[in-house]
A and B are shown apart, each in its own frame.
Chain A
């Protein structure tokens, strides 16, 4: 089965389930029940199933399907959960402290989840298309090396070229650039604006350079580009990890408060549900 076929099949199944849930919701309401109880229970169970992906990743020894399959299930069930949530809150902003908190948490979880699908499918391809693939944890190390090299070029320019032009350029524009990863959001949106700005600065002093300086400035230029590639990888890889920093903690908070919400609404239901 091709990827497209599988996606089409899964999408159709998810859409059918969502429509079925919507219909069940309407029928439940027409039968004089508070349909929020139906959607709420299904939503809660869905969230438990969604959260179990984390558990599945830890219990690799159990023969309960591959992580890839679980991930697919997680994604499509997540979409259905969004529909369920909308049905549950009747498509309007909730009131009440607990309810608003739950809504915010759900939006955070669902939002980061959608972001995660997007970034996990787009960013890796972009990473392979540019620069050298590096391990995220080693980026500071590589950054340090590039910075050392750049500083050596500057020192050599002062010693060999008898000019401080490159030194002044470095101290004014490049020193902070080489200190830490830069242009985080520009790399996310595939913008080279920051790099070009810097390169323009470098190219703009070309008329003031002598022959030796031009040689050195070209090395520096390469280091600037190299560093930018490193920044690119740092930005994208950090993003690939950072969304989980919101998605997972928010999920735990959501489940905890959802359990409280579940007990309270049943205890105070007044005989409905």
Chain B
């Protein structure tokens, strides 16, 4: 056998590879000539179909299978050789086609299962979600299109109407503020302003891919500059995937200045971390270079930065410790008034001085009025009388007048003085009869809103009834009768000097224990130049050695006591001679001549703080002017308490002030642009400690920044942190220089993700 394959017509049959079925005997090498039909059924019958020639049947079997057979057809014309039936098999092409169809059917089956069966979530799930989201019920918890059914997915896929709809499901738990979907959570105008402000004056060759990105497409911002949450946070990447991870090049996609390295391209830290003056006016330079080196205070002075500063919440800020632990040793005395030349207490209530003689000559009916009073109306009194229009008008008319000299005044002005006097007397009448309730109502009118109990207690600081009564008895012995008559419409003439003096002398002994010669004591204008701690001429009595603790003043019958009849005269003399403001050395109310004053109870006095806080909002109050006057008086550097010596005041709005009682404190849930943790860096510092990053700037005049109330005009004791300092460690190979290492994207104050319990009541019941 030399050649297997021959192509002559007798040897080579015709193959039809396009046919789907092939004779089953082909595998044996002996396929029949008939072949299966197109359905794969064997059509095998006989090897030939005999033909009849001259009444004789002839075999016409094909030469390919041997030609005419020797036996010939049967007499009836049937072929004598039947073909054994086979099981047809598919051709190569048919096999490919069938396989394809089966695979296609399985695919369509998967498609239908994925779209319309309970297995859809399993089949469609492209991967595990992070463990934080693993409890989301099903796909519809995040993908709003899922709930609409498979028929709606093609529309949802290509409709542009609801590009940020899915983001709303994120915000349902992760509420990032009003502008959650805006870049950085800020309004566009704010971002534009920041861009304009920060636009650097330099050129940086940006990476090619970023240039291409800018050229290729606009940013994927939707309606009103919103970015979908999924732009940056891609789920279905496994349980441990970091959803907040972000590459540097994606961070700078929106930024005009594009760079990918901290050491190359990142702007210098201009002024970082200082963007305003310190809230507490503390000059590090003078303290470190002068005060802490003073021999008198050296022992108490802090030895290092951590003596005063401690890491706050999450370590982002080095907050200042409490006053009592770091400042009180040197500054407590100043607040309490130790060594203070002027009055240690602020004047709250007073009896203004009038030209009583002129009033009497002109028959002005204001009842009794102490002739010796020489003070002025306090702003507190103006505030309380702000709701009295007649008083207010009279006050305004008399603003330029010296009430102690009414010689050349007009009758109109005298009428105003009368109005003024009755306003004051009614004020004291109601104060002494109604007490704090009266103050509450008047303050509500002045402030424009009611006060709660706590506010009232802080603003009155437990004004004792007896102090008020004693003052009224001394100042206006006939106050009660005068006011009643006045309100009855009767004229209340001023009594004669003799009558007045007799009344006054009756209660004069009450004032003996406060042998103060303050005749014109005013807030910030006190002239008690002789009364000084250490130069006290009252025996051996000194503050701190006070023997008043043994005194039985509570049982003292001041009205009967003339100070000379008691057998313990030496002790009473000491008490009687004790300056009234020294008695409440720990702070509180005290009466001094024709005024009721309040002395601060050390640092963080509630009364002072409450009045400063509320008066800072003066602009928004009905009693704006007196409130402003109160605020300015208390915040003056000459004010008792000396609050503003350390606590700066910021103007935060149109006339609205804010007193900074504390240094910067971390705000819970606040997310700033820069996230820095001091704590994480402590172990990396060398012997220079904090000065590694915060170098002192000795050249500046720190006080310059506190000459106005604009917190942004400032100079810092410290030089700004330099980028090179951070870049020394934050390289890709070491600490990393990914943008999100130091920066937050979502800015604002918002709580962590939280869920809601809308069916709490039903569940509780069940």
Contact = CB atoms under 8 A, between A and B. Distances in A.
Contacts of B4: 132, 134, 142, 145-146, 226, 230
Q: Name, among A133, A142, A248, A268, the residue most crowded by chain B CB atoms within 10 Å (CB to CB).
A: A268
A117 interface: no
B620 interface: no
Given A253-B106, A268-B143, A30 B213 contact: yes
Interface string A136-173: 01101111111001000000000000000000000000
Contact of A256 (B1, B5, B108, B222): B108
Prevailing SS type, chain A contact patch: helix
A252 B110 CA distance: 13
A32 to B, nearest CB: 5
Interface string B1-37: 1011100000000010100001000111111000000
Given A137-B17, A245-B99, A270-B229, A27 B212 contact: yes
A267 B154 CA distance: 7
A10 interface: no
Interface string A16-46: 0000000110111111111000000000000
Interface in B140-176: 142-143, 145-146, 152-154, 156-158, 163-167
B1 A149 contact: yes
Interface string B486-511: 00000000000000000000000000
Nearest to A142: B4
Q: Which of B15, B22, B152, B217 has the most CB of A within 10 A?
A: B217
Nearest to B100: A249
Interface stretch (B118-126, B387-395, B703-711): B118-126
Nearest to A250: B103
Contacts of A250: 103
B230 A263 contact: no
Interface in B89-144: 92, 95-96, 99-100, 102-104, 106-108, 110-111, 114-115, 122-128, 139, 142-143
B253 A31 contact: yes
Interface in A237-273: 241, 244-245, 248-250, 252-253, 256-257, 260, 262-272
A144 B158 contact: no
Interface string B210-253: 10111111011010000111111010111000000001011001
B209 interface: yes
Nearest to B253: A32
- Of residues B102, B126, B163, which shows the largest number of chain A Cβ atoms within 10 Å of its Cβ? B126
Interface stretch (A66-74, A97-105, A195-203, A207-215): A97-105
B96 A248 contact: yes
B298 to A, nearest CB: 59
Contacts of A26: 209, 212
B217 A28 contact: yes
A94 interface: yes
B111 A31 contact: no
Between A24, A31, A95, the greatest number of chain B beta carbons within 10 A of the residue's beta carbon is seen for A31
Contact of A132 (B3, B127, B156, B219): B3
Nearest to B111: A260
A37 to B, nearest CB: 11
Contacts of A3: none
Contacts of B217: 28, 31, 33
A256 B107 contact: yes
A64 interface: no
Given A95-B126, A96-B127, A256 B214 contact: no
Contacts of A32: 219-220, 227, 231-232, 250, 253-254
A137 B26 contact: yes
Contact of A23 (B95, B166, B209): B209
A226 B143 CA distance: 67
Contacts of B29: 140-145
A135 interface: yes
Given A33-B220, A134-B5, A268-B145, A257 B228 contact: no
A95 B238 contact: yes
Contact of A272 (B125, B157, B212, B228): B228
Given A253-B107, A263-B154, A267-B157, A98 B231 contact: no
Given A30-B250, A256-B111, A272 B103 contact: no
B137 to A, nearest CB: 16
A95 B228 contact: no
A270 B107 contact: no
Which of the four size classes fits the interface of chain B? 35 or more
A51 to B, nearest CB: 11
A44 to B, nearest CB: 13
A142 B231 contact: no
Nearest to A238: B92
A1 to B, nearest CB: 33
Nearest to A30: B213
Contact of A245 (B1, B96, B212, B230): B96
B114 A260 contact: yes
A144 B128 CA distance: 58
B220 A270 contact: no
A257 B26 contact: no
A49 B680 CA distance: 56
Contacts of A98: 110, 114, 123-124, 126
Contacts of B1: 145-146, 149, 223, 226
Contact of A97 (B122, B128, B228): B122
Contact of A96 (B28, B125, B234): B125
Contacts of A97: 122-125
A24 to B, nearest CB: 7
B108 to A, nearest CB: 6
A143 B247 CA distance: 66
A30 B247 CA distance: 9
B167 A271 contact: yes
Interface string B30-56: 110000000000000000000000000
Contacts of B99: 245, 248-249
Interface string A65-100: 000000000000000000000000000001111110
B127 A95 contact: yes
For A145, A253, A265, A272, which residue has the most chain B Cβ atoms within 10 angstroms? A272
A41 B26 CA distance: 47
Nearest to A34: B234
Contacts of A265: 126, 157
B216 A27 contact: yes
A248 B106 CA distance: 15
B117 to A, nearest CB: 13
Interface of A: 23-24, 26-34, 94-99, 101, 132-135, 137-138, 140-146, 149, 223, 226, 230, 241, 244-245, 248-250, 252-253, 256-257, 260, 262-272
12 contacts: A26-B209, A32-B232, A95-B127, A98-B123, A138-B5, A140-B27, A146-B4, A248-B99, A267-B157, A268-B139, A268-B146, A270-B142
Given A31-B216, A141-B31, A268-B146, 17 more contacts: A24-B212, A29-B250, A95-B128, A137-B17, A138-B5, A141-B29, A142-B4, A143-B29, A145-B1, A145-B29, A146-B1, A245-B95, A245-B99, A267-B152, A267-B153, A270-B142, A270-B166
List of 10 A-B pairs having minimum Cβ-Cβ separation, nearest first? A144-B29, A95-B127, A271-B228, A266-B157, A270-B230, A96-B126, A30-B213, A27-B212, A141-B29, A270-B166
